[in-house]
Amino acid sequence: MDNRENSYSQAFKQIAKTANSPLPLKNVLNSAAKSAAKALKAVGCSIMLLNPQREHFDIIAAYGLSDLYLRKGALKASKSLPEVLSGKLVAIFDVSQDERTQYPEAAEMEGISSVVAAPIPQRGEIIGEIRIYTREPRKFSQADTDFLTTVANIIAVSLEKNELYQILKAEHEETVTKRRKLTETPELPSSSLRPSSFGHPSEQEFAKLLDFYRIEWLYEPRSFPLARQNGKVVEMFTPDFYLPELDLYIELTTLKQSLITEKNRKLRRLRDLYPEVNIKLLNKSDYLRLLAKYGYGRLGGTKAKGMDRVLFSHTQIQRRVNALAKRVSHDYTGKKLVLVGILKGVMCFMSDLMQHITLPLNVDFMAISYYGSNNESAVKITKDLDTSIAELDVLMVEDIVDTGMTLNYVLDHLASHNPASLRVCTLLDKRVRRLIDVPLDYIGFEIPDEFVVGYGLDYLGEYRNLPFIGVLKPELIEEKGKT
């Protein structure tokens, strides 16, 4: 066995031993990065996972790389070595000359010449990658790439074992939701750039506001060189936050004029040097208006007044709706699909779901009302279907199912029209309140026994236009029976 094979063998032993240990996931992955870099005689290694929208990579472990390089900015999946997403191992001999290098200036400052990246597979799809960096230009051998591919597979197994991966992986969001305690708020996506402390109280306040609305954020993710002298960087600018969903950098400021003037000078310089970067300088009133602009309202403002907490963000909802639509598209291939919804709560869910379904379909709506006493209320159909559903495949689309009594009545009514098939897709399942065990074929989220509003759901006619689903403060909810 030559020295190279012995080095790979020792690295495999160490990586496997650590992966099978009770160490936290971050320790396991950092150890794997270190062993891989040393075995390949490289300057550094990073392990990255795709974010839930599969738009950019988050670094979750690294070895040998400076903090400045790790914080250079979000890596866009469509630009930075995009071939990895198709399962290919990618090697770049000279990063300074390759268009797939997203941050060539940062690589030059770090002294990186060559990069090789292996995809991390999981259940038939690529969820991330491991990258090796070298200072000298290098053509990686077949033995090198075979070694890195094997390390990537070991990392995949480690991620599968860890509950963190179950949260990060969007395809398993339904399973994760059911495992959470119903009385707890779902955890926010974690990030290696979440700080233990902030530089200023305003930053902490802004982070809490983003967390309330469940908007993904990175803290000080990238430093931009603004001036050089004798080949060295003498001035840098590091924005406070990056919001991947909006592709927006945020720099917070106080009302102190000297600070505002200096930050404005740096922002002008940054925009001149990096015209593609979207960045804003905000004070407190500015960022509240920014959130309102993107449909989140403002904490304590009119649109979200009385909100106790956000249960599911707009991004989480869209991710789940898209996953449901893929399942529906697969299951109804070759069938005559009709979506049926009950006005008005289902309108947002129905609209988004039908846009993501890749099959021809028809849509129809019903309307119902309740009558009788609170103890003996009954359902009345005030608007029936406009077209016949006989011999068609009907998918009943619901915003929320709780007791199941209303849904059971509507399903009996639809079944009397002799459809070829009849199934149910609901965005929310409040199973804890179930009185009638109605069949649910597609479920978005299971929720606790709390009053939720937003995304079409209302309370006394309000809150339907919120882009998220939130829980109202108990003291604002009047006694109201609803099946």
Condensed to tens digits (0 to 9), the pLDDT of residues 13-35 reads 889 888 887 777 888 888 899 99
Above 50 in pLDDT, residue 69?
Answer: yes
Kindly calculate the radius of gyration of the chain based on its CA atoms and give it in whole angstroms. 26
If DSSP codes are grouped into helix, strand and coil, which group holds residue 112?
Answer: coil
Count of H helices and E strands in the chain? 13, 21
DSSP E strands: which ranges in 430-468?
A: 442-446, 452-453
Average model confidence (pLDDT) across the chain: 81
User: E strands within 270-411?
Assistant: 279-282, 307-312, 337-343, 361-371, 378-383, 393-401
Query: What is the spatial distance between Cα 365 and Cα 232, in angstroms, rounded to a whole number?
Result: 66
Share of the chain above pLDDT 70, in %: 83
pLDDT band at 419 (very low <50, low <70, confident <90, very high): very high
Please tell me which residue, 166 or 286, carries the higher pLDDT value.
286
* CA angle (447 as vertex; 208, 348 as ends), nearest 5: 80
Q: Cα separations (Å) of 384 from 332, 375, 387, 405, 438?
A: 24, 26, 9, 18, 21
**45 has which bridge partners?**
63, 132
What average pLDDT does this structure show over 398-420?
91
Location of structure tokens 């829980």:
471
Mean pLDDT of 377-405: 89
Write the CB contacts of 451 (distance below 8 Å, at least 6 apart in sequence): 459, 471, 472, 474, 477
Tell whether the model's pLDDT for residue 208 goes beyond 60.
Answer: yes
Residue 287 confidence class, pLDDT cut points 50, 70, 90: low
Q: What pLDDT shows up at residue 357?
A: 93
The 8 Å CB, 24+ separation contacts for 414-417 are 414/340, 414/389, 417/385, 417/388, 417/389, 417/390
Residue tagged active-site, from 402, 412, 437, 441 = 402
**What residues contact residue 468 under an 8 Å CB cut-off, 6+ apart?**
213, 214, 296, 310, 311, 312, 313, 314, 317, 454, 455
Query: CA-CA distance, 464 to 456, in Å (whole number)?
Result: 4
Whether 374 shows a pLDDT value over 70: the answer reads no
Confidence tier at 188 by pLDDT (50, 70, 90): very low
Domains along the sequence of the chain with CATH: 3-178 (3.30.450.40), 201-296 (3.40.960), 312-476 (3.40.50.2020)
Q: Minimum mean pLDDT among 394-398, 425-429, 478-482: which range?
A: 478-482
Residue 183: strand pairing partners: none
CA 388/CA 29 separation, integer angstroms: 57
- Higher-scoring residue by pLDDT: 190, 475: 475
The pLDDT confidence band at residue 83, using thresholds 50, 70 and 90, is very high
d(CA 235, CA 245): 29
pLDDT tens-digit series, residues 149-173: 999 999 988 887 764 444 444 444 4
pLDDT exceeds cutoff 90 at 349: yes
- d(C-alpha 225, C-alpha 317), whole Å: 37
Please state which of the ranges 7-11, 237-241, 246-250, 386-390 shows the lowest mean pLDDT: 246-250
Q: Kindly tell me if the per-residue pLDDT of 268 is higher than 70.
A: yes
Please give the pLDDT value at position 170: 43
Q: Which range (118-122, 137-141, 195-199, 459-463) has the least confidence? A: 195-199
Closest Cα to residue 211, out of 311, 305, 130? 311
The pLDDT assigned to 51 comes to 82
Between CA 316 and CA 469 the distance in angstroms is: 10
Residue 357 token pair: 């379904």
Among 67-71, 139-143, 396-400, the range scoring the smallest mean pLDDT is 67-71
The pLDDT of residue 149 is 93
Q: Collapse the DSSP code of 19 into the 3-class scheme (helix H, G, I; strand E, B; otherwise coil) and give the result.
A: helix
* Backbone phi, psi, residue 224, to 5°: -105, 120
* pLDDT for res 92: 93
Query: 186-195, 249-258, 362-371, 439-448: which range is least confident on average?
Result: 186-195
Higher per-residue pLDDT: 316 or 35: 35
**For this structure, is 308 an active site residue?**
no
What is this structure's pTM?
A: 0.48
Task: Tell me what the mean pLDDT of segment 294-300 comes to.
Answer: 48
**Residue 424 confidence (pLDDT) above 90:** yes
